[in-house]
Structure 1
């Protein structure tokens, strides 16, 4: 927590020093290999994708030896391929899959502290403001698009002069 720097300063500075030493070592080891990394960029995409798929499969299966995890890997991969094919951004999905379980756990913690009362998310002014901003960011662009379509404005043109 926040007291870590005061109670265990030696540990914190040892960790920071080890990170610094590790970065210097990576720099020293990778500078002579720049040519190799450039050659790796010239590998055709289909071979690169096949290699990534093999390593991902081995990694997923190596974690729990579960066929379900493999099926999940391939289903998520196919969803990503379809999203790319139809020009949907994949980065928000990846961020959502990584942060989703953490957000869900924190929501459960907040609900348990509020004894199951959903108003705990809007009781304080800051949380109510943040929730209102998120809702506005999600809703206002759609309302503006619908409003401009009713007025006969071309898509994305804003106001008429």
Structure 2
């Protein structure tokens, strides 16, 4: 049996459904979701926990905690809307902050590129990959692409 998110879609990562915005504490988040892959410290003193479910998973959760350690919100980052926010010139940190840890990375010396990939669902069931191409020297985004895992 699957839990559902606030949009009525099945949640494939059990744990998030056990949390309540404005009520759950940092300890509750860690108990339900485990240790975060990354903790982002915000200028305000709040923190964001990153929970990537790749490379085989299709979700990355960002869980926002306020300065007192209460969960304020959570969001799934691997969405068409977030991918559209990736722009040429962004740094690796900018992209990681927006999308979370990539499922895989590859280096292409002849193109002088490093490519990060995320597996995600476009629509309810269409599996796709989103790729961000970085210039290896500057560490900045030079282009983005996507592919179908079956068609390439």
TM-score bin (small chain): under 0.3
| Higher CA-based Rg | 1
**Larger strand proportion, structure 1 or 2?**
2
Q: Normalised by the size of structure 1, how large is the TM-score?
A: 0.21
TM-score (norm 2): 0.22
